[in-house]
Every structure is written in C-alpha cells, then in structure tokens.
Amino acid sequence: MAFRFELQCTDTSTALGTPARRGVFHTPHGPVQTPGFMPVGTQGTVKGLTIDQVAGTGAHMILGNTYHLGLRPGHEVVKTLGGLHAMSGWEGPILTDSGGFQVFSLDGINKISEHSVIFRSHIDGALIDLTPEYSMQIQESLGSDVAMVLDHVVALPAEKDAVQDAMERSIRWAKRCLEYAGRADQAKFAIVQGGLDVELRVQCAREMAAMNFEGYAVGGLSVGEPPPEMYRITQATTPELPQQKPRYLMGVGRPIDLLESVARGIDLFDCVMPTRNGRNGYAFTDAGPIKIRNAKHKTDTSPLDPNCDCLACTRHSRGYLRHLFIVGEMLGPSLLSLHNLTYYQKVMQGAREAIEQGCFAQYMATKKQQWGIE
C-alpha cells in the first residue's frame, strides 16, 4: 500500500467535540509524523535554506507549487530533470498545490468557467487554460507524493451565493481530478470549500468524504478572516471528514493557530509565516516574537532563543543577527528562517508528545501562557 494513515491515538482533553489526533502518514517517500508542519518551498526550494538544513529543522514533508513551477521552468522541464525530488534533492515526501489558489489570490484577470480557470502568466503574459486535468498532469510531472485537487477559492467577504457557486464548482472539479488517470504512487487530496458558512462547509465536506480521496484539506481559510472564525469553521468541518484519513488545514498559521487547530482535529499544516517573517527579521520564540532589527538588540550578546538548538541560536548573538539585517547580508534572512522552521517543528513535536500523554489541553495552555496569550 503506497499510502496509509496510521491513527495512533486521540486526546479529548480539550473537550471541543472533536479530539486532537496523533498519527503517521506513510508515503512512498517515507513517513510524516502528525500533527505535522510542512515548510513551503514554492519554487522547489525552501527559500534561503539547503535541503539538509530543512531536514535538520525536523521537517518531514515540504510543499511545491503547480502555479509557479508550471510556469517556470515549466512542468516538462521539471519532468526532464527527474521531477521535484531529483531536481531539488529532497528525498522525503512532497505535496504540491494545484495552482488555483495562486490564480485567484494573485491579483490579475482570470476567467472562470465550468471548464477551467483561464489566466495570464505573471511572467510572460501568456494565457494559461488551467483545467482540473491539466493541474493533475502538471503535478504528475512534478512527481509529488500528494497532489491537491484544483479548487475555486473566493476572496472573503463574499455573498453566500458566490461562495456556494465556488464550493459546488470545487466539488465538480474534485470529481474530475479523481477521475484523472494519474500515477498509482501519487495520492490525491480533496479540498473542502464553503467560506465561513457552516451549512455549506458541512455539505461540501460530506460530498468530498463520499469520494475516495487519500486525504482531506480544509481550504478557503487563512485568507484574512479573524482567527476565531477560522477555528469555528475548522471545528464544524473536521467531524464530517473520514477519521482514518489525514486532514490538512491549508495556509495555517501562527504557532497558536497550529495548536488551536490540532485541538480541532487537524493533522497537517503549511504556512509561509516562519520563512516569510524570518526573511523580514521576525523571529518566533518561547518568550514571544522578536523583531531583530529593533535597536534594543544592538549590543545584545544573548541568543535569539536560549531554549533553541538551531544554528542561529547556538552560534550567534542577537547583536550579530541584527547586524546582518541592518547591513542587508543574505545570511540574516537564512538564519532567521532556519530558526523559525526549527521553532515550528519544536512546537509540533511538543504537540505530538502531549497527545501521546493525553495532556494536549495542558500543553496548549502552557504555550499560550509562554506566548503571553490570554
């Protein structure tokens, strides 16, 4: 069996009506410990880090993108280079997004029809006709272990009929992706849409659950809605998804969002925050966030985070890291990205251990207190 989700134990200590879950998602490129965080490697690289550094953070699975790689260098080139694994050298599991979200979120014209979404390449202006089948074909060339279905995401806030129209189209497109005769060693994940409307979310989740996907993502969130709204929708959606399949909350989130969502039954996460914020000099630590450019760090010889064993925290001071950002040295963004990814993996490792011990609620409360959250 190329793919298998092994649900090891659950923890109901948070009493949110759906338990936190500890599991292992087995893939052809190795196991992924859940709950787990997947670093974003949009262009086939986690920006500023070597793959050995990414592995060193504790990451098991990384993300690639159909939209970007499909445009440049083009999926045929990636295929000729042996696929994303051979090209990047990453030997672990890879998940690729379908490209739809990038089309809808990158401002610019796009034309939606039942057939596809047509958009102009932001690189050379060429018209691209992205059908569910073409998205699957690109992801097949990329050779990812998990391919996301092509979905239609509407920007929030949106009228209920627009959300319903996009949700129903996403169901029809998901069916077309499932029917696409791809490779046996590539899993397909469904993506549940429905905006912030519980009724639409439940309907969509049930229709997707009735189709035989290897995993289920909750999409259409982390698009600017208030975190409590994200939690409310997640909590309404996960109970409708198959218990024995992995659940992936797309684009989430801050460390607190990861824990609040684990408590509501989510197994996998991705987010650009640790790397994007790292590149901008914003570090996540047990004592809360640090803006390294702040003058108060200028002569600070202490490490970024005394509890962290990453290269940035064991080899350098806050004063040096600040200096790198002030003079614009490329090592600065790399080191803070490395630290943030290490930090995210440590938060998730703690979550996995807490669920195993049945004390996830206590773990979340402790982290909230450390982070200065009510």
Q: Identify the sign of the CA torsion 196, 200, 205, 211.
A: negative
Residue 339 counted as an annotated binding residue: yes
| Full DSSP string of 48-85 | T--HHHHHHTT---EEEEHHHHIIIIIHHHHHHTTHHH
Pairing outcome for strands 215-218 and 146-148: unpaired
Residue 370 counted as an annotated binding residue: no
Residue 357 counted as an annotated binding residue: no
Contact flag: residue 292 with Zn ion (CB under 5 A): no
Cα 308 to Cα 278: distance, rounded to the nearest angstrom: 15
Report the candidate in 42, 48, 1 with the shortest Cα–Cα distance to residue 25.
Answer: 1
Active site residue 97: yes
Contact flag: residue 208 with ligand NEZ (CB under 6 A): no
How is residue 240 annotated by DSSP? G
Q: Which does 250 bind (CB under 5 to 8 A by kind): ligand NEZ, Zn ion, none?
A: ligand NEZ
Distance of CA 26 to the CA centre of its chain: 18
Total residues binding ligand NEZ (CB under 6 A): 21
Residue 92 counted as an annotated binding residue: no
Taking CB under 5 A as the criterion, the residue among 310, 336, 341, 364 binding Zn ion is: 310
**Identity (one letter) of the amino acid at 329?**
E
Q: Residue 48: how many CB atoms within 10 A of its CB?
A: 18
Active site residue 185: no
Chain positions 274 to 313 lying near ligand NEZ, rule: CB under 6 A, are none
Q: Are 326 and 292 in contact (CB under 8 A)?
A: no
Whole-number CA gyration radius for the chain:
20
Q: What minimum distance in Å lies between the beta carbon of 355 and Zn ion?
A: 24
Q: What minimum distance in Å lies between the beta carbon of 366 and ligand NEZ?
A: 27
Contact flag: residue 144 with ligand NEZ (CB under 6 A): no
Token reading at 244: 């024995």
Contact flag: residue 205 with ligand NEZ (CB under 6 A): no
Q: Are 217 and 177 in contact (CB under 8 A)?
A: no
Contact flag: residue 40 with ligand NEZ (CB under 6 A): yes
Choose one: 24-32, 79-87, 200-208, 218-226; the region binding ligand NEZ (CB under 6 A). Answer: 218-226
Residue 117: strand pairing partners: 112, 130
| Catalytic member of 11, 257, 270, 305 | 270
Residue 215 counted as an annotated binding residue: no
Taking CB under 6 A as the criterion, the residue among 148, 177, 258, 347 binding ligand NEZ is: 148
Residue 316 counted as an annotated binding residue: no
**Annotated binding-site ranges:** 97-101, 151, 193, 220, 308, 310, 313, 339
Point out which residues bind ligand NEZ (CB under 6 A).
Answer: 40, 42, 63-65, 97-98, 100-101, 148, 151, 153, 191, 219-223, 250-251, 270
Point out which residues bind Zn ion (CB under 5 A).
Answer: 308, 310, 312-313, 339
Residues designated as active site? 97, 270
